[in-house]
Structure 1
Amino acid sequence: MPTDANNLSQMPSSFARADFPSDFVWGCSTSSFQIEGGATVDGRTPSIWDHFCQTPGKIRDASNAEIACDHYHRWPEDLDLAKQIGMNAYRFSIAWTRIFPDVSGVPNQAGLDFYSRLVDGMLARGLDPWATLYHWDLPQYLQEIGGWENRATIDAYLVYVDTVTRHLGDRIQNWITHNEPWCTAMHGNWDGMHAPGQKNFKAALLVAHHVMLSHGLAVPIIRKNVAHAKVGIALSLHPLRPASSSETDLAAMQRHDGLRNRWFLDPLFGRGYPIDILAHCANDLPTIRPSDMAAIATPIDFLGVNYYFPETIASAPDCPPLHTRLEEVAGRERTGFGWEVAPDGMRELLQRIANDYPAIPIYLTENGASYEDVMDADGSVQDCARRDYFIRHLASLQRAREAGVDVRGYFAWSLIDNFEWAEGYMRRFGLVYVDFQTQQRTMKQSGHWFRTFLRGAA
C-alpha cells in the first residue's frame, strides 16, 4: 500500500535511533496462543481460547490456533529474525496449560523445559527476555469451575506464577503479570468478542477485580523468587475524544474513561476504583474484601502501555450500563482493521499518564498496525503503510520523551503474522510475513526499515 499525501505530510522531517538513549529497550511482542501451535504437544491441554475456536461463529474465518505459526518447533528461526532486525529485547507469553495441564497441581516438566530452551535461545542472541505470565489463555479446566469469576482462580494463578518464576527467574528480570485486563474482562465477559464469550456486565466487573487482585498478589511472589526483579502490568489504554462539544457527549466521554482507563489505572496507583463509576454501576459491583484494594496497589516497577488508537465517544441513552457509544468519524486515516491512525494520540496518552499519576517508568509494550499485506511476484512484501505507521508513532513517542515522560522502551506488535484472536488469520500485524500453508517467513519492508533504523542508518 503506497504512502498517500496525507501520510507524507505527517512524516517527521528527521528521525534516528540516536534520538533515543543508548539504553533504550527495543523489542517486539508476541503471545503464546497466537504463535506457538503445538496444541497437544508435550502435555499441553486446552485453554479457553481452544474451546472458543471450536464454537461455531466465534472466529471470523472459522480457523483455530492448533498450528498457528508453529513457533513451538520453529522458535530458533523466529528469534533469529528478531536478532536480524536488531531488537535487544523480546516480549513473549507463557501458556498456563503447558505448565499446569490439569487440576492435579503437578507441574509439567516438558512445558517448563520448552520455555527454558526458549529463554536460553533469547539470551544466546542478545535478546533480553520479557515474560508475560497471562495473555488471555486461561486453562479450560479452570473455566469449567467458574474461571476468573471464581476467586479460587486467583490461588491457581499464584501457584502458576510461583512455579514459573522459580524455574525461569534466574534468567528473566522483567515480568508482566497480565496483558490487557480490559480485554480479559470486558471482551471476554461483557461484549462476548473474546473467550469465554459471555455477555454479562456484572460478571465482567467481577473478572476485572479478580484479575487485578491476582496481579497485586503476584508481585511479591515474583520479587521473592527473582533477584532484582522488575515487575509490571500491560494495560490497553486509549486517549478519548467527545463526538461533539455537547454536555451529554462530554459526560459520556468521562464515563467511558472511567471504565476504559481509570478503572485499571486508579487502583494500581492506590486510588481505588473511580467513585463516579462505582456510583454509576452500583448494581453490578463485585464483592470487595477489606484487603483487596491495598493488594492491587502493591507498588510496581514499571507500567506497560499498549497503544493502538483513540476512541470517539457519544452519549447513547439506549446503551446501558454506561449509556455511551463509540463513534467512527468519517474521513480519518485507518488501518486494515479499521482502527484510526493517530500517532499524536500516543504522545497525548503518555503525557496524560505522566500528569495524572505518580512518576513511574513506562514501556510501550505494544504498538502496531494490521494491513492487507500481499507478497509480490519477486517474493517481497511492500508494506510501506506499516513502515510509515511505525515511523510516525516512534516520532510521537520521542515527542513525549522530550516533554518529560519517562518512556524507557518500545515493543512493536508483532514480530510475525499470527492468529489474531476472533479475527483468525484475516489480520496481519507482523514485521515478518508468514505463509500459513508453508510456514515460510519473509521479512516485510517494515522489518527491513526497522533493521536499518536500529543500525543507526535510517
Structure 2
Amino acid sequence: MATDEAAVGGAKLLDVDAFPAGFLWGSATAAYQIEGAWNVDGRGESIWDRFAHTPGKVKNDANGDVACDSYHRYRDDIALMRELGLKTYRFSISWPRVQPGGRGASNPKGLDYYKRLVDALLEARIRPFPTLYHWDLPQPLEDAGGWPNRDTAERLADYARIVADALGDRIGQWAIFNEPKTFTHVGYWQGTHAPGRTDPLALLRATHTVNLAQGLAFRVLKAAKAKPQVGGVIDVAPMNAATDSDADRAAAQRWFRFLNLWFLDPPLKGSYPQGVLPPAQQDALLGCRAGDDAIMRAPLDFIGLNYYSPWVVRHAPRGNGIPGLDTQADWAAGPDEKTDNGWDIDPPGFYRILREITQHTGGLPIEITENGAAYNNLPDSQGHVHDRKRIVWLQRHLRELSRAIRDGVPVRAYHCWSLLDNFEWAEGYTQRFGLVYVDFKNRQQRTIKDSGHWYAKVIAANRVV
C-alpha cells in the first residue's frame, strides 16, 4: 500500500486512498425524478409535468408520473440506504407539492410527506440534506413569466419560508438551488429541458432572477430558529480549449466564468464575473436594478459541487445569440472513453476543477453533491446487476477526490448520483445512474447493483477499495 502522510482538517492521512475521519458518504436524488405521485394529495402541476406530457419532448414520451414511486416507497428506499451504510442523503423538495400554485397557501399533505421522510431519515441516523429547488417550478409561475420574471425570486423566498417553518427544527443543512446553470441554459436557451424555451435574453434574465432568489432565500433560511447552514449547488467542469489558438483559449476562459462562476461570484462577491457580457450592456441584458448587488450577496456556509465531465470550447465568430459571448462548447471531445450516455470520462478533471474552484471559494467547506455515471447494465439470469464499469469509474474519481483533499481542498462529504435508477429528464428512462437497479416494468422492484455493494465497502472502510 502506498503511503503519503498529509494533514487534512487536523487529521493525518497515511493511506492515499483514505478519507478524513468523519467524512460523510451519501447519495443524491431529486423529487421529480423519483417521487411519482404527480397529481395526488394536492400536488400541483410543475413545468416538468407539462413538458414531459408534451409529445416528443422526452425520449419514448416518458414522464415522471410514477418514476420510482418513492412518494409511497420512501421507507423501502431508506432501508436500502441503511443497507449501503449511507451517512447523508441529498434529496429535493417538490415546490408544487408544497405550494401547488407557486404562491399563497401551502399544501399540508405535501409538507406532511417531507416531515415523514425527514423523521424516517433521522431515525435511521442518516443526515437529511434537502435541496429547495431542483428544477420543478410550479407551472402557474412559468405561465406568469417563469425565471426570467423578477417576481419569481420573491415567490421562491415565500416558498422557502413555508418549508423552513415546517422543517427547520429537523434540518441542519440546506441547499437552495441545484445546478442553476443547467435549468436556465437548457430550459430557456437550448429548449431541451422544461419549460422548453429558446430565447437568449430570457436565459440572461433568468440567471439574474435566480441569483436574486438565492440571496433572498438564504436570508429566509438563516432566519429560521434552528440557524441552519445554507449553501448552493453548482455544476462545474474544466474548460479545455479546442486548439492552442489564442481565440480558443480566450473562449475557454469566458466559458469558465459563465458556467462555473456565474452563480458563485454573485453570492460571494455581489457581482458577476467580468469578461463575459459587454460591460456597457450587462445591466440591461440581465435586467439589473440599483441595489441588486446587495440582494445577491449571501455569505454561504458551504458550496455544493456537481462534477461529471469536462467541456471542449472554441471561439465562435458568428456568436451564439448572447452579445459578447462568441463561444461554442460541448461535452463531446472525440473518440475517447465515454459512459453509456456519451459523456467523456476524465477523472483528473475532477481534481483540476476542485483546485480551481477552491481558488474562488477560499476556505468554505465543500460538499460533492453529485458525481456518477450512466451505465445501462441489466440484471442477469440470477437477478444480479454486474456494472463493473461504474465501479471503475467511481474508483478513479474517488481517488482524485482523495488527492484533492490531501492537497488542501476542504471537502467534507460525497454524494453519489444516484441512489436509484430514475427519470433522467429528457433522456427519460434510457439512462441508468443508480447504485440500485429499478425495474420500472415490474412494480419498481429494487436491486442493489454490484456498484452499490462496492460503495458500501468504501463507506465502511472510509477509503477507496
Aligned residues: 445
Distance 1:303 1:435, change over 3 A: same
One-letter identity of the residue aligned with 1:290? A
Distance 1:443 1:385, change over 3 A: same
TM-score, normalising length: structure 2: 0.92
Counterpart residue number, 1:231:
230
2:454 equivalent among 442, 449, 457? 449
Counterpart residue number, 1:359:
363
Question: Following the alignment from structure 1 to structure 2, what is the Cα–Cα distance between the partners of residues 248 and 18?
Answer: 39
Is 2:312 the counterpart of 1:312? yes
For the residue of structure 1 that corresponds to 2:437, the secondary structure is strand
Counterpart residue number, 1:325:
328
Counterpart residue number, 1:266:
265
One-letter identity of the residue aligned with 2:366? I
Counterpart residue number, 1:408:
412
One-letter identity of the residue aligned with 2:326? H
For the residue of structure 2 that corresponds to 1:376, the secondary structure is coil
Question: Following the alignment from structure 2 to structure 1, what is the Cα–Cα distance between the partners of residues 384 and 16?
Answer: 25
Counterpart residue number, 1:160:
159
Measured after TM superposition, the shift of residue 271 of structure 1 is 5.4
Measured after TM superposition, the shift of residue 18 of structure 1 is 7.8
For the residue of structure 1 that corresponds to 2:367, the secondary structure is strand
Measured after TM superposition, the shift of residue 286 of structure 1 is 1.7
Is the contact made by 1:132 and 1:178 (CA closer than 8 Å) also made in structure 2? Answer: yes
Question: Following the alignment from structure 1 to structure 2, what is the Cα–Cα distance between the partners of residues 297 and 137?
Answer: 24
Measured after TM superposition, the shift of residue 139 of structure 1 is 0.2
Question: Following the alignment from structure 1 to structure 2, what is the Cα–Cα distance between the partners of residues 146 and 407?
Answer: 37
Q: Deviations over 1:47-98 (max 9, x none)?
A: 0000001222110121111000000000001111111111101001001111
Aligned CA RMSD, in angstroms, stands at 1.8
Question: Following the alignment from structure 2 to structure 1, what is the Cα–Cα distance between the partners of residues 458 and 260?
Answer: 32
For the residue of structure 2 that corresponds to 1:452, the secondary structure is helix
Measured after TM superposition, the shift of residue 324 of structure 1 is 2.2
Identical residues among aligned pairs (%) = 43
Question: Following the alignment from structure 2 to structure 1, what is the Cα–Cα distance between the partners of residues 108 and 452?
Answer: 35
Measured after TM superposition, the shift of residue 388 of structure 1 is 1.0
Is 2:350 the counterpart of 1:346? yes
Measured after TM superposition, the shift of residue 260 of structure 1 is 1.1
Is the contact made by 1:27 and 1:412 (CA closer than 8 Å) also made in structure 2? Answer: yes
Is the contact made by 1:252 and 1:314 (CA closer than 8 Å) also made in structure 2? Answer: yes
One-letter identity of the residue aligned with 2:261? R
Counterpart residue number, 1:399:
403
Counterpart residue number, 1:431:
435
Question: Following the alignment from structure 2 to structure 1, what is the Cα–Cα distance between the partners of residues 224 and 230?
Answer: 12
Question: Following the alignment from structure 1 to structure 2, what is the Cα–Cα distance between the partners of residues 211 and 263?
Answer: 11
Question: Following the alignment from structure 1 to structure 2, what is the Cα–Cα distance between the partners of residues 18 and 257?
Answer: 29
Question: Following the alignment from structure 2 to structure 1, what is the Cα–Cα distance between the partners of residues 390 and 70?
Answer: 23
Question: Following the alignment from structure 2 to structure 1, what is the Cα–Cα distance between the partners of residues 252 and 381?
Answer: 47
Measured after TM superposition, the shift of residue 202 of structure 1 is 0.8
Question: Following the alignment from structure 1 to structure 2, what is the Cα–Cα distance between the partners of residues 15 and 271?
Answer: 40
Counterpart residue number, 2:247:
248
Q: Deviations over 1:413-456 (max 9, x none)?
A: 00000000000001100000000011100000100001112122
Is the contact made by 1:269 and 1:358 (CA closer than 8 Å) also made in structure 2? Answer: no
Is 2:269 the counterpart of 1:303? no
Is 2:90 the counterpart of 1:91? yes
- Tell me which stretches of 4 or more aligned residues in structure 1 moved more than 6 Å: 14-18
For the residue of structure 2 that corresponds to 1:149, the secondary structure is coil
For the residue of structure 2 that corresponds to 1:190, the secondary structure is helix
Is the contact made by 1:101 and 1:108 (CA closer than 8 Å) also made in structure 2? Answer: yes
Counterpart residue number, 2:190:
191
Question: Following the alignment from structure 2 to structure 1, what is the Cα–Cα distance between the partners of residues 51 and 103?
Answer: 24
Question: Following the alignment from structure 1 to structure 2, what is the Cα–Cα distance between the partners of residues 104 and 130?
Answer: 24
Measured after TM superposition, the shift of residue 228 of structure 1 is 3.5
Question: Following the alignment from structure 1 to structure 2, what is the Cα–Cα distance between the partners of residues 295 and 408?
Answer: 28
Measured after TM superposition, the shift of residue 147 of structure 1 is 1.2
Measured after TM superposition, the shift of residue 101 of structure 1 is 1.4
Query: Which residues in structure 2 correspond to 1:12-161 (within 5 Å)?
Result: 19-102=18-101, 105-161=104-160
One-letter identity of the residue aligned with 2:268? F
Measured after TM superposition, the shift of residue 278 of structure 1 is 2.5
Question: Following the alignment from structure 1 to structure 2, what is the Cα–Cα distance between the partners of residues 454 and 381?
Answer: 20
Identify the range of structure 1 (327-336 vs 446-455) with the bigger mean alpha-carbon deviation: 327-336
TM-score, normalising length: structure 1: 0.94
Distance 1:123 1:262, change over 3 A: same
Question: Following the alignment from structure 1 to structure 2, what is the Cα–Cα distance between the partners of residues 205 and 63?
Answer: 29
Measured after TM superposition, the shift of residue 356 of structure 1 is 3.3
One-letter identity of the residue aligned with 2:457? T
Counterpart residue number, 1:292:
292
Measured after TM superposition, the shift of residue 215 of structure 1 is 0.7
For the residue of structure 1 that corresponds to 2:190, the secondary structure is coil
Measured after TM superposition, the shift of residue 15 of structure 1 is 11
For the residue of structure 2 that corresponds to 1:332, the secondary structure is coil
Counterpart residue number, 1:390:
394
Measured after TM superposition, the shift of residue 325 of structure 1 is 2.3
Distance 1:168 1:16, change over 3 A: farther
